[in-house]
């Protein structure tokens, strides 16, 4: 682990974000009748309204100028916003196309990608037990990749896009809510145009679903609420990566794909054969090794 002091609030914020992300496939599955591009457009539009409105209420109109005054902020937030929009869109499409298990594989690979970034680019250090944990997890990911039955492009694309997003947000270091606000504003107009185009052509989530009672109102409510459910864990994640080592962020992130896997197999009926069980077993053993090492080191550090 990095020599950076462990911030307990950062750990708990990260855990809460990953738990919410882990059960999100069930939420997006409720919106299966809405085209994926329209879901992502609603997700961006309503999260922008929520986040930008809150920032304007708390800090006034100067928050945007102050945030963009940070060195490198304008172009780095443009890149991070593009990465997270791509990640959201691919994830929602995959969930509603019946690929929840493969999305969970992507988020199992993502922590390893973060560990590599933390060690190679941020000069974070792992102890011997943590290296063993990372090696065991890598064996699991390689097993899953080689025995998945097809090239897992969804999984690899999700891992690369979200890992790169987290690295940019850590390097930039702007306050998490303000950073999300700027990212959202960059995406707002394209998303609004896509949303309006969909409504005009019968592919939207409001008018396209017909009457204003019953199921149509329920779909509209879920699309709006999706904005809040988008903003909250992402704010928590952006806050956590500034408080705790990036390698620890990567390994805590196993919480989300584990829950996604359980949702896909137990609740949505996706396949989970012996080869997948072996690969995921490697990863869970690695997480147990890492967690045990962290608990032991924490107790040793607490002694006088």
Q: Which position has the token pair 């890992």?
A: 163
Contact yes or no for 36/90 (Cβ under 8 A): no
Query: Residue 275 corresponds to which tokens in the numbers above?
Result: 């080869």
Nearest to 110 by CA among 65, 163, 63, 69: 163
Q: Which pTM value belongs to this model?
A: 0.80
Calpha distance 263→225 (Å, rounded) = 20
pLDDT in tens, 245-290: 766 776 777 788 889 989 999 988 888 888 888 888 888 888 788 7
- Residue 204: what pLDDT? 63
Q: Collect all residues with Cβ–Cβ distance below 8 Å to 102 and sequence separation of at least 6.
A: 94, 148, 152, 154, 155
pLDDT in tens, 52-63: 988 998 888 889
- Identify the top-confidence range among 162-171, 197-206, 216-225, 284-293: 162-171
Calpha distance 121→115 (Å, rounded) = 10
Provide the residue ranges of all domains of the chain, joining segments of one domain with +: 8-302
- Residue 203: what pLDDT? 65
Determine the 3-state secondary structure of 65 from DSSP: helix
Determine the 3-state secondary structure of 33 from DSSP: coil
């Amino acid at each position: 682990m990095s020599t950076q002091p462990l911030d307990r609030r950062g750990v708990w914020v990260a855990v809460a974000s990953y738990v919410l992300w882990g059960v999100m496939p069930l939420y997006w599955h409720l919106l299966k009748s809405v085209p994926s591009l329209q879901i992502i457009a609603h997700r961006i539009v309503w999260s922008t309204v929520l986040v930008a409105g809150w920032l304007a209420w708390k800090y006034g109109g100067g928050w945007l100028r102050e945030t963009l005054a940070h060195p490198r902020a304008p172009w780095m937030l443009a890149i991070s916003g593009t990465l997270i929009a791509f990640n959201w869109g691919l994830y929602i499409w995959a969930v509603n196309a019946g690929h929840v298990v493969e999305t969970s594989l992507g988020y199992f690979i993502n922590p390893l990608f973060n560990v590599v970034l933390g060690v190679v680019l941020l000069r974070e250090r792992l102890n011997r037990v943590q290296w063993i944990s990372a090696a065991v997890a890598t064996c699991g990911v390689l097993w899953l990749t080689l025995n998945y039955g097809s090239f897992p492009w969804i999984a690899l694309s999700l891992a690369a896009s979200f890992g790169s997003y987290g690295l940019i947000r850590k390097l930039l270091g702007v306050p998490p809510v303000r950073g999300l606000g700027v990212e959202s504003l960059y995406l707002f107009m394209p998303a609004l145009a896509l949303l309006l185009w969909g409504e005009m052509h019968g592919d939207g989530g409001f008018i396209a679903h017909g009457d204003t009672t019953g199921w149509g109102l329920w779909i509209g409510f879920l699309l709006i609420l999706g904005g809040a459910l988008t903003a909250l864990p992402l704010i928590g994640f952006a806050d956590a990566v500034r408080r705790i080592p990036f390698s620890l962020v990567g390994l805590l992130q196993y919480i989300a794909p584990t829950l996604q896997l359980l949702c896909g197999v137990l609740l949505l009926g996706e396949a989970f054969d012996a080869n997948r069980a072996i690969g995921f077993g490697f990863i869970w053993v690695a997480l147990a090794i890492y967690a045990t090492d962290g608990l032991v080191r924490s107790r040793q550090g607490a002694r006088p």
